[in-house]
Amino acid sequence: MCFLASLLVKHAPVKTGILPSRTKSTWYTDELRLLKQERRLCERRWIRTDLQVHREALVEKRRILNALLKKTKSQYYNNLIGEHSQGPKKL
């Protein structure tokens, strides 16, 4: 083992761990994912330039994303409740 590798192993040993697996939300769509990416892009642009125009674009993207998130989530759960309206035990 070379000198640099041994130093790295000594001062910053490799750590292993277990990450919990997360199931994807069924209501989270590709459209929401794309809007979130656009919002992050606007946020990075505003931070980089600090222009009011870019801040307004960020605020608008955030407003659109939050409204669509709320609408999509509520539609999903309303449909889920409607499908299982026979009784609470089905839900």
Question: What is the model's pLDDT at position 81?
Answer: 85
Tokens of 62: 């955030």
For the chain, what are the domain ranges? Answer: 28-83
Q: What angle do CA 73, 85, 72 make, to 5 degrees?
A: 10
Nearest to 70 by CA among 38, 39, 27, 35: 27
Distance between CA atoms of residues 83 and 66, nearest Å: 26
0.75 cut: is pTM over it?
Answer: no
**Per-residue tens of pLDDT for the chain, all 91 residues:** 688 888 888 898 988 999 898 888 889 999 999 999 999 999 999 999 999 999 999 999 999 999 999 999 999 999 988 877 766 665 5
Question: What is the model's pLDDT at position 87?
Answer: 65
Distance between CA atoms of residues 74 and 76, nearest Å: 5
